[in-house]
Structure 1
Amino acid sequence: MSLGAEETHHGSLKPHDSLFRDAEKVSHSTHRGSQVSWMQTLSLAFQSIGIIYGDIGTSPLYVYSSTFPDGIKNNDDLLGVLSLILYTLVLIPMFKYVFIVLYANDNGDGGTFALYSLISRYAKIRMIPDQSAEDAAVSNYHIEAPNSQLARAQWVKQKLESSNVAKIMLFTLTILGTSMVIGDGSLTPAISVLSAVSGIREKAPSLTQSQVVLISVAVLFVLFSVQRFGTDKVGYTFAPVISVWFMMIAGIGMYNLVIHDIGVLRAFNPMYIVQYFARKGKDGWVSLGGIVLCVTGTEGMFADLGHFNIRAVQISFNGILFPSVALCYIGQAAYLTKFPENVADTFYKSIPAPLFWPTFIIAILAAIIASQAMLSGAFAILSKAQSLGCMPRVRVIHTSHKYEGQVYIPEVNLVMGLASIIVTVAFKTTNDIGNAYGICVVTTFSITTHLMTVVMLLIWKKHVIFIMMFYVVFGSVEVIYLSSILSKFTQGGYLPLAFALVVMSLMVTWHYVQVKRYWYELDHIVHIDEMTALLENNDVRRIPGVGLLYTELVQGIPPIFPRLINKIPLVHSIFMFMSIKHLPISRVVPEERFLFGRVGRKEHRMFRCVARYGYSDTLEDPKEFAAFLVDRLKMFIQEDSEVTAQNEPAERDNSSKEVPEAQARLTQTTVEEEKQLIDREVQRGMVYLMGEANVTAKAKSSVLKKIVVNYVYTFLRKNLTEGHKALAIPKDQLLKVGITYEI
């Protein structure tokens, strides 16, 4: 695929028709699962049970204890709380996510980054100006709009693109959601494992809470230690285990309903919610912080959609999860009407004696699976954060060849593991952890609501009445829940906000400097005449082999090139300016991976290459990448010669047909010679050149800017994985070139 024949004197790129011809050869992919059979859909629905419902499915372990931390004063309160739980499950996971949000997937991928990517594809809202017209030809780039309310969408697009405030707000929402996911990844294991392990005190009452905490810490240590091995080796057990869990909690719920008080079914009447708030007042509002824990893990249905499809998730949620969890909550309410004093340990107290140990074992397994799913989701989302340039390039390890979404990031795993263990030791009970957990959950809900509203305006072009209903209904419910949780700010609620503030500060710092660095390079692009003069200098020699100079710029010659020539007056026989570019889509098919262009005159044998990836794509192995790159380069040379031949003047003697035929043979001979030259130089060796840029603030900068750039950014750059390790570049083929940028 061609980047656009030649770079001009100003570094701009001329579009090339071959780009669009190649794009047409690739079929446009649709969300996987949209064409699958019913049997496949049912199979996916079963698999989804183990991957995306572990968290929301284990919520019955702690919801009632978190809602009634001071005990149940009036049995009528149970009907109000149960009614709130049931309608919260219906409103947020079922109506909002299962029937609306899931459709805002990015070619099958979900989550906050998918929404941001959809928006940035339709409007230029990204801070780094690396968008190009050629990207729109990628198969997965465009999504058809469902109707024609175009004027309003164009107005929204114009406002987003012209407003730096809007761009910053959308970016901030996205990284806030990412920060909350990291917090969620730390709190889910803490609250799930601690809740499950606490059940052992039913059979061993002599155990103290401190001893329960130590057992939980041991389980957490093992959980985080095995992350590097991935989950594909045990993943096949997830769905059966969680399925057994759902059958058990549904059966136990049915048993408690029949044995204790079938009258709690009156809670399906929403009037009990009104009566509950009228009776409880402020205390009822405060209790919402515990009730909202019944929908923890809801965002996972959207974030993990890439492994399944919409229909499969809808079937598994409405057919398995909702009935099972609803029955469990109903049964617990029936039990508590007879034994309100046991609210602190409702789940285990309500289990029939013969089923205790099987349920306890399955509960531990379900808690671990719920934690595992959340951690995998956190790793996957953070690996996508690199595509926005808001996170240092760290080594993302893919732990499964079978499941592409399973990744592991050592640095992040260490941080989340330590945070989870510290939280468990510090708080000791699920109540305070629940206060922190709720803030993560509801904040993520609210972020999704705001980004979804932009998607509806800009992309879906829905009727304004529908958009207003979506925003007002879900937005107001989430604000009410969030206000309730914030009332417990000093009782653990501060934790995720403090954690998110630290993570956001680091991400914003990295992104800010990366944007400034990109603009610096863009403003100091080397003029093509200057490059030609450098190459034609008698002191500069062309040496055997292929040189790849990595640069953030997707067009123009970076300022590091003349510095390289001045320090080492050697240029490889084949030289390429190489850029790794992440598009705002989930995947780029290999056939559309590379864009090529010539730099300078043909005899210079210098090229520009942009390797394009989606945020869910995996960087190839170095050998595989090099072989694919060389193969595509030769294809480009062939195409470039054909286009050049077509554009040459056709003023020839009509009586002689031998001239154009001879010219064609000569052109083909030249192309074959150039291909053979490339093969020879590849055999002689490939060298990767990377800029080791030291970024500092200008002397006249403010104190805050100097701290951010000179200390925080420098600390991150020096202490996290280096770029060549993230790109898996072999050390014996790497040459670093130092340069300092003052921004």
Structure 2
Amino acid sequence: MDPPLSPGTYSNPIKKETWMHTVLLSFQSLGVVYGRLSTAPLYVFSSIPRQEFKSDESAYEYLSFIFWTLTIVSLVKYAIIVLRADDDGEGGTFALYSLLCRHGKVGLLPNDKSDSNIMQYDDDFPSRSKLESRARRAITKHKSSHYLMLFLALLGSCMIIADAVLTPAISVLSAAASLRRSLTDIKYSSSHEREESISRDIKRYVQVPVACAILVCLFTVQRYGSHRIGFIFAPIVIIWLLFISGMGVFNIVHYDPHIIYAASPKYIYKYFKSTSLRSWRSLGGLTLCVAGSEAMFADLGHFSAKSIKMTFFCLIYPALILCYAGQAAFISHTLSQKNSSGLPDEYNHLFLSAPEGVHHVYTVLALFAAAVGSQATITACFSIVNQCLALSCFPRVKVIHTSDTIHGQVYIPDVNWIVMVLSLAITIGFHDTTRIGNALGTAVVSSMLVTTCLMSLVMALYWEKSLLLSACFLLFFGSIEAMYLSSNILNFHKGAWYLAVLLVLSLTIMVSWHYGTLKKYQFDLENKVSTEWLTDLSSGLGVSRVPGIGFVYTDIVTGIPAFFSHFITNVPAFHQVLIFVSFKSLPEPFVPPSRRYLIGRVGPRDNRTYRCIVRYGYREHIRDTGDFEEQIIRFIGEFISVEKPDAESLVAPEGRMIVVGVGKQPEGDALIPLQDKEGTSAANAATQMNASSTGDAKEKGKKKKVRFMLPDHSPKMRVSVREELNALIEARESGTAYFLGQSHLVVRNGSDFLKRFLVMVYVFLDKNGREPHVALNIPHAALVEVGMVYTI
């Protein structure tokens, strides 16, 4: 029988995936992951200025670019190579960065140097001692490379967030443009000026309001979770893909069967041979044909690599190729019939390439598909923010886990509403797909370029491939993406500047939060006091020990935090049992329950002071109250019972800890939880709390405190161990208090403007953000907050 999971811990379903489960995930991924790629035909050709279609061969040239870009970037790079670089089922730029942190030792996240010493006592921690390669030694040695990798990870994350803002706007505007075109046809007048006037009125009073209404509905349903949204949206995407691929086959056969020759790279050569600065800018619009490929990797935590690949190879890729080929065939035929200057502005729109009898059907499908198409980037945004939050690179926000089996499926309400407001502002302010497309194309290709850079490092440091192979990967894919990036930068004044605004805003928030967290942590390390100070103070200076247990939450893993020493100096008393609790986020998705808790002593045995380090991955949500307190007490009891007897009279060295958890004690539990009056055991209570953390169930009523007792038959238990366990039980019965430090950051006089600005932003976010998770459900009567001024 498998051991029970600790609260906030989920099993990874990907490792036990069956074919039936793969098919189910593939179906769901259609509505979440691939809606973005599927709706790209709405605006790819429309983003190219019509003046660039000088002849019917122009359609061949652009289709050749689309075909090879989809094949090289989406199929080869992402579906075949990048999806293999998952971090235990998690994808995205921070997943790649976490792999580099563990295997390249480039982490800059707040962490105590003593953690490396603590890990040597972790018997279950897998050994990764490999021969140091020249590349790993060079990267580890140069600190500037560490900052560069963290900046790349933050930049890629900001681009995905910007993508989530821009994609819904351009998708719904493109679909609403079809509605405007349909209504214009209905209200057609013989007067051209009258028709243009009607078109402008419809755009003002119909297209933009309809787009805004769709956006509000889209962001409102996010709270139901990606698994439910996937079931709802997947049929829409399937119908849409079948419809546009059928349109593509019809247009190829009806207009230009020779369009299939555009797969030849000679048309790309022809384009480069006759290109100019103006035509080079038009390549920026073609970037949108692979928009959504990054979401295939970023949404990996919501599904599985096998299901994402199966869907892409069997349905997405062939359907998109047929659709783009059909559009190109229609454009080629239209251009060969008359001069491009005499064509309407939307001559290359997917709407006009549809047969006349299905225009209105296409309009309805496009509206539904546009809403679905934005889902991939919104889901990816939630995943990336959740990773950044766990790794101390994003302000505290509420994270709701919408699935009790796949922990990567999360919903973040604060981020959801902020992204909705920004997307509505773009829709109302720009109401132009071309300008939004310029900004979106820059975000897409920049995110891809970041992934290429990090992926080449993962190949060298984690996969341990040759430097030549890593360099070839970087140069081949990087050169293609750099080409598209250069064409997008030329359109900076035509809408791409808005991406710079979003980038500066999100990057400032992330960098400020990371900087403030790091500086506050460094201050704690520099101002901590030794454990001997606490021992000498309690024994020689008349400090009182009051009944009960005191939980002291701190970021440091050795020594006494400055805020607690400040408290004892002013109030010379602390509890009979003192437990210093630290949470440590490891750069990996999951930490097994068997090695989650590290327990050690602080000072002599008679002092009854312990230290507990709780380790968790960036995909996990640790519940810090309720049954979490019971877990710590049980594991401290286990630590007391398994501690070596020859160390009974010795003082444990600072930092020496033992890993405790499920299955660590062969004789059974040292502390047995008693049944409460309603017959609810601690294990059942933990299950209820775990279900509550997923957002699917809410705890009703106040959970009663679980009591403990010693096992009846324990002949092997030493007398000293029994006495210490009894003291722990008595302290538990007397009550519990929680000590939290309340920091107030102040910049040192003479600091430069950049430092003052970053600290100012951090203080603003800290005061206006959510409370730390550990303080959310602690009773006010038991909470003791100690304020301190941190001068940095």
Q: 2:81 maps to which residue?
A: 100
Moved more, 561-570 or 639-648: 639-648
Report deviation, 1:333: 0.9
Q: CA deviation at 1:342?
A: 5.6
| 2:754 matches 1:704 | yes
**What is the rounded CA distance, in whole Å, between the counterparts of 2:555 and 2:721 in structure 1?**
30
Does residue 258 (structure 1) correspond to residue 250 (structure 2)? The answer is no
- Determine the C-alpha separation between the residues in 1 that align with 2:370 and 2:128: 40
Alignment partners' CA distance in 2, 1:63 and 1:95? 21
Deviation of the 1:39 alpha carbon = 4.0
Shift of residue 232, structure 1, vs aligned partner: 4.1
* Deviation, structure 1 residue 596: 0.9
CA displacement at 1:296 relative to structure 2: 0.4
Give me the whole-angstrom Cα distance separating, in 1, the residues matched to 2:302 and 2:448.
21
State how far apart, in whole Å, the 2-side matches of 1:136 and 1:304 are: 34
**Partner SS, residue 391 of structure 1:** coil
In the alignment, is residue 742 of structure 1 matched against residue 791 of structure 2?
Answer: yes
1:714 maps to 763
Give the letter for the 2:446 counterpart: T
CA contact (8 A) 2:583 2:614 kept: yes
Does residue 412 (structure 1) correspond to residue 415 (structure 2)? The answer is: yes
Which residue matches 1:44? Answer: 25
Segments of structure 2 that go 5 or more residues without pairing to the other structure are: 4-9, 185-197, 336-342, 652-713
Q: 1-side partners of 2:403 and 2:304: how far apart?
A: 20
Question: 1:64 is matched by which residue type in structure 2?
Answer: F
**CA deviation after TM superposition for structure 1 residue 621, in Å:** 6.3
Cα distance change of structure 1 residues 370 and 604 upon mapping to structure 2, 3 Å threshold: farther
Asked if 1:320 is matched to 2:315, the reply is: yes
Aligned length: 695
- Of 727, 745, 748, the residue aligned with 1:695 is 745
Trace 1:205-604 onto structure 2 (pairs within 5 A). 205=184, 206=198, 208-211=202-205, 212-340=207-335, 341=343, 344=346, 346-537=349-540, 539-604=542-607
Q: 1:708 to 1:468 in 2, by over 3 A?
A: closer
Give the conservation status (yes or no) of the 8 Å contact 1:141–1:585.
no
One-letter amino acid of the counterpart of residue 675, structure 1: L
Q: Give the SS at the match of 2:555.
A: coil
Q: Distance between the aligned counterparts of 2:33 and 2:329, measured in 1?
A: 28
In the TM superposition, what are the counterparts of 1:98-247 in structure 2 within 5 Å? 98-127=79-108, 128-130=110-112, 131-135=115-119, 150=131, 154-205=133-184, 206=198, 208-211=202-205, 212-247=207-242
- Name whichever of 87-96 and 408-417 sits farther off: 408-417
Q: Calculate the aligned-residue CA RMSD, in Å.
A: 2.7
> How far is 1:201 from its partner?
1.6
Q: % of aligned pairs identical?
A: 36
The answer to whether the 8 Å contact 1:58/1:370 transfers is yes
Give the CA deviation at 1:667.
5.3
Q: Which moved more, 1:63-72 or 1:101-110?
A: 63-72
Question: 1:64–1:343: 8 Å Cα contact kept in structure 2?
Answer: no
Paired with 1:360 and 1:349, the residues of 2 have a C-alpha distance of 11
2:387 touches 2:618 (CA, 8 Å); kept in 1?
A: yes
- Counterpart in the other structure of 1:7: none
Higher mean C-alpha deviation, range 117-126 or range 618-627: 618-627
Letter of the 2:563 partner, please give it: I
1:472-521 superposed Cα distances (whole Å, 9 cap, x missing partner): 11011111100000000001111112211222122212212222222221
Q: TM-score, normalised by structure 1?
A: 0.88
Using the TM superposition, name which of 373-382 and 723-732 deviates more.
723-732
8 A Cα contact 1:232 1:402, kept in partner: no
Quote the Cα distance in structure 1 between the aligned partners of 2:778 and 2:269. Answer: 63
Deviation per residue, 1:241-284 (Å, 9 max, x gap): 22222111111111111111111111011101111222333333
Q: How far has the Cα of 1:301 moved from its partner?
A: 0.9
Structure 2 CA distance for partners of 1:643 and 1:136, relative to 1, 3 Å: same
Listed one character per residue, the Cα deviations across residues 361-392 of structure 1 (whole Å, up to 9, x for unaligned) are 33223222232332122122112112332222
The alpha-carbon distance between structure 1 residues 229 and 237, as it changes in their structure 2 partners (threshold 3 A), is: closer
Q: Distance in 1 between matches of 2:562 and 2:504?
A: 35
1-structure distance, mates of 2:377, 2:117: 37
Give how far 1:591 is off: 2.7
Greater alpha carbon shift after TM alignment, 468-477 vs 34-43 = 34-43
Whether contact under 8 Å (1:107, 1:140) holds in the other structure is no
| Deviation at residue 71 of structure 1 after TM alignment | 6.3
User: How far apart are the structure 2 equivalents of 1:634 and 1:510?
Assistant: 37
> Does the 8 Å CA contact 2:170/2:436 hold for their aligned counterparts?
yes
CA distance in 2 between counterparts of 1:693 and 1:476 reads: 47
The offset of 1:598, in angstroms, is 0.7
Judge conservation of contact 2:292–2:376 (CA < 8 Å) in 1. Answer: no
Q: Distance in 2 between matches of 1:334 and 1:647?
A: 84
Mean Cα displacement is larger for which, 584-593 or 178-187?
584-593
Which residue number corresponds to residue 659 of structure 1? Answer: none
- AA aligned to 1:281 is S
For residues 140 and 253 of structure 1, do their structure 2 counterparts lie closer, same or farther at Cα, with a shift above 3 Å needed?
farther
- CA deviation after TM superposition for structure 1 residue 444, in Å: 0.6
Deviation at 1:47, TM superposition (A): 2.8
Structure 1 residues 368 and 725: alpha-carbon distance in aligned structure 2, compared to 1, 3 A threshold: farther
Q: Which residue of 2 aligns with 1:679?
A: 729
Q: Is the CA contact (8 Å cut-off) linking 1:260 and 1:338 kept in structure 2?
A: yes
SS of aligned partner of 1:237: helix
SS of the equivalent of 1:339 reads helix
1:271-325: CA deviations, max 9, x gaps?
Answer: 0111122233333321110001000011111111223333322221111110001
Decide which of 685, 703, 719 is 1:669's aligned counterpart: 719
Output one character per residue of 1:658-684: Cα deviation in whole Å (capped at 9) or x when no partner: xxxxxx969523323433433343343
